């Protein structure tokens, strides 16, 4: 059976008052008519020849993916450009030690993580067209002001502010994509979106290489130019969100009309996600009970482990240390910036490929474990070869593997969490909560395990990355997969007719993934 996906009508206890019962009866009649309309549109768009459905997907892809990917590109650049600034004399000019620099990097993740669930709840209530322009413009302003930092104290003030303003972009984008795409389409789009993060490493190296030549222009150091240029571009991107970023599909109603989709396309875009699994959709109404349900759900914490130990720790540690790591292979600072680009380009390609395979075969667990394995191989080879100067080429190749593996797992983790939580409000909260601990724990740990005093072999950094991948991510992923597989088997043995006789359609809808008719994606 296919998975319940988007929103389902709310159900109350049998003891509800008569007027509420009549309202629910009206909702059932309206839902039945809406589902019939969906079947009609589905026949027209997807069944007869599929051309209209492909046209709709192209419109969605060209509107959502470039916009969100560019925003994430700027988010990743503005968060990780400190590693590039470090090579341009930032620490010496500001008067920081390497230990103080690592601590300042860590402070960002406390506000970043704490604000992720709050931001996702605000996004769920306000919509992307109101919320995203605000947060993007705010973090662009903070990045721009970083060029004025002149002391360690000033930097530890600016980093938490950057974390607070950037927090909503990553989880919010995942949630936006989950509101427009069906489960079978989601991982590929999340991978394309997340590819902007790996591309940021490539662009970051290229931009830093170019900015390095501006050192001393108009009396400004290169690191100041780096923050100024990236900040101004981000502010411009935030203002453009008003034009290019659409609302949630269900927010186009009444006087609000879409100018980029026809009426039939917009109607089908709403209904195809809402009824992707059949005639019992969840509610679009925001309920605080769905937020607390996400906190009580075991799945939230399993996915949190994957995002934290298998994603954030190795990814952040690699992004912050890569320029220095490449420099330690024997290259100059400017050339090291440029040589960080090829591994990230390779990682972007692998990220999209794994996302497409995950959608093609609907095997989220295998895609995640394959990604972890690739990243793990890269880290282990890099750990061994950094002890031997004549193996610098092998070390550089291992960086390709590590960057690709740890990048590829992230969108699949997001897709796996999304498709197994059909209620949108609970899904938004769960994504925010799982990223909270992942960002705070992963970012704070990842920015402090590769110590300059241990360069170039980094025993703590490499050892910790290997341990957290195996113990903190691969084992929890396997347990999570096994528990859901066992539950699917149990439900498959139940009589579907008896289930429908025991529960009303509205009750089954309100149960979400706890419904006996729901099947988890494995």
Q: With beta carbons less than 8 A apart as the criterion, state whether 398 and 378 touch.
A: yes
Asked if pLDDT for residue 15 goes beyond 60, the answer is: no
pLDDT band at 458 (very low <50, low <70, confident <90, very high): confident
Asked if pLDDT for residue 18 goes beyond 60, the answer is: no
pLDDT band at 21 (very low <50, low <70, confident <90, very high): very low
CA 360 – CA 190 distance, rounded (Å): 14
Share of residues in the chain with pLDDT > 70 (%): 86
Q: Write the CB contacts of 340 (distance below 8 Å, at least 6 apart in sequence).
A: 201, 202, 204, 205, 322, 323, 326
pLDDT band at 5 (very low <50, low <70, confident <90, very high): very low
pLDDT band at 518 (very low <50, low <70, confident <90, very high): confident
Q: What does the pLDDT read at residue 437?
A: 77
Q: With beta carbons less than 8 A apart as the criterion, state whether 179 and 6 touch.
A: yes
Asked if pLDDT for residue 172 goes beyond 90, the answer is: yes
- The SS3 call for residue 8 is strand
- The SS3 call for residue 282 is strand
Report the pLDDT averaged over residues 101-119.
Answer: 84
Q: What does the pLDDT read at residue 237?
A: 93
Q: What does the pLDDT read at residue 20?
A: 41
pLDDT band at 60 (very low <50, low <70, confident <90, very high): very high
Name which of 123-127, 173-177, 335-339, 359-363 the model is least confident about.
335-339
Q: What does the pLDDT read at residue 298?
A: 92
Name which of 128-142, 275-289, 323-337, 463-477 the model is least confident about.
323-337
Q: What does the pLDDT read at residue 1?
A: 36
Asked if pLDDT for residue 23 goes beyond 60, the answer is: no
Asked if pLDDT for residue 300 goes beyond 80, the answer is: yes
Q: What does the pLDDT read at residue 232?
A: 94
Q: Comparing 278 with 370, which gets the higher pLDDT?
A: 370
Name which of 59-63, 125-129, 131-135, 340-344 the model is least confident about.
340-344
**What superfamily in CATH does domain 22-514 come from?**
MFS general substrate transporter like domains (1.20.1250.20)
Residue 452, φ and ψ in degrees, nearest 5: -60, -35
Report the pLDDT averaged over residues 450-467.
Answer: 85
Asked if pLDDT for residue 127 goes beyond 50, the answer is: yes
pLDDT digits (tens, 9 = 90+) for 477-511: 999 999 999 999 999 998 888 888 888 877 877 88
- The SS3 call for residue 127 is coil
Q: What does the pLDDT read at residue 2?
A: 38
Q: Could you identify the residue written with the tokens 């289930």?
A: 499
Q: What does the pLDDT read at residue 519?
A: 87
- The SS3 call for residue 83 is helix
Q: What does the pLDDT read at residue 16?
A: 41
Asked if pLDDT for residue 112 goes beyond 80, the answer is: yes
Q: Write the CB contacts of 207 (distance below 8 Å, at least 6 apart in sequence).
A: 77, 84, 226, 229, 230
Name which of 135-149, 183-197, 314-328 the model is least confident about.
314-328
pLDDT digits (tens, 9 = 90+) for 207-234: 777 787 887 788 889 889 989 998 999 9
Q: What does the pLDDT read at residue 254?
A: 62
Report the pLDDT averaged over residues 88-101.
Answer: 87
pLDDT digits (tens, 9 = 90+) for 375-398: 999 999 988 988 888 888 888 888
Asked if pLDDT for residue 42 goes beyond 70, the answer is: yes
> What residues pair up with 8 in beta bridges, in sequence order?
282
CA 107 – CA 86 distance, rounded (Å): 17
Q: What does the pLDDT read at residue 176?
A: 94
DSSP string of 128-148, one letter each residue? HHHHHHHHHHHHHHHHHHGGG
Q: Comparing 406 with 2, which gets the higher pLDDT?
A: 406
Share of residues in the chain with pLDDT > 90 (%): 32
- The SS3 call for residue 503 is coil
Q: Comparing 254 with 130, which gets the higher pLDDT?
A: 130
């Amino acid at each position: 059976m296919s998975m319940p996906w988007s929103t389902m009508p709310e159900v109350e206890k049998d003891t509800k008052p008569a007027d509420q019962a009549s309202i629910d009866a009206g909702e059932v009649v309206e839902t039945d008519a809406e589902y019939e309309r969906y079947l009609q549109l589905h026949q027209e768009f997807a069944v007869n020849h599929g051309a209209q459905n492909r046209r709709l997907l192209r419109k969605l892809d060209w509107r959502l993916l470039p916009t969100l990917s560019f925003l994430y590109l700027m988010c990743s650049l503005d968060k990780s450009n400190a590693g590039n600034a470090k090579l341009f004399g930032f620490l010496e000019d500001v008067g920081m030690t390497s230990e103080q620099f690592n601590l300042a990097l860590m402070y960002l993740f406390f506000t970043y993580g704490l604000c992720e669930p709050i931001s996702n709840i605000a996004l769920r209530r306000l919509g992307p067209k109101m919320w995203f322009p605000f947060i993007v413009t705010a973090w662009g302003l903070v990045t721009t002001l970083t060029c004025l930092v002149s002391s360690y104290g000033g930097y530890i003030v600016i980093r938490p502010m950057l974390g607070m303003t950037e927090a909503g972009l990553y989880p919010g984008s995942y949630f936006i994509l989950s509101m427009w795409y069906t489960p079978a389409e989601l991982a590929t789009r999340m991978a394309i979106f997340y590819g902007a993060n790996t591309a940021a490493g490539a662009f970051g190296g290229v931009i830093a290489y170019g900015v390095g030549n501006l050192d001393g222009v108009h009396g400004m150091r290169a690191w100041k130019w780096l923050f100024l240029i990236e900040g101004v571009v981000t502010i411009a991107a935030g203002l453009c969100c008003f034009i290019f970023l659409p609302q949630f599909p269900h927010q186009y109603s009444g006087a609000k009309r879409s100018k980029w989709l026809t009426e039939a396309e917009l109607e089908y875009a709403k209904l195809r996600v809402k009824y992707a699994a059949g005639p019992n959709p969840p509610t679009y109404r925001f309920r605080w009970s769905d937020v607390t349900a996400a906190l009580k759900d075991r799945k939230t914490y399993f996915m949190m482990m994957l995002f934290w130990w298998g994603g954030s720790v190795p990814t952040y540690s690699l992004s912050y240390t890569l320029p220095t790591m490449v420099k330690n292979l024997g290259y100059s600072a400017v050339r090291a910036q440029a040589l960080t680009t090829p591994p990230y380009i390779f990682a972007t390609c692998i990220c999209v490929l794994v996302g497409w395979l995950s959608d093609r075969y609907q095997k989220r667990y295998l895609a995640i474990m394959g990604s972890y394995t690739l990243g793990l191989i890269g880290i282990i080879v890099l750990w061994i070869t950094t002890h031997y100067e004549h193996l610098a080429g092998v070390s550089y190749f291992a960086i390709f593997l590590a960057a690709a593996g740890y990048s590829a797992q992230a969108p699949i983790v997001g897709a796996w969490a999304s498709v197994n939580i059909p209620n949108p409000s609970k899904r938004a909260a769960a994504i925010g909560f799982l990223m909270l601990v992942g960002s705070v724990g992963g970012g704070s740990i990842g920015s402090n395990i590769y110590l300059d005093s241990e360069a170039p072999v980094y025993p703590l950094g490499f050892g910790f990355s290997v341990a957290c991948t195996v113990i903190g991510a691969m084992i929890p992923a396997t347990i999570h997969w096994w528990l859901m597989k066992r539950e699917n088997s149990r439900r498959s043995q139940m009589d579907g007719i008896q289930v429908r006789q025991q529960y009303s359609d509205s009750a089954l809808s309100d149960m979400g993934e706890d419904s006996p008719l729901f099947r988890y994606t494995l």
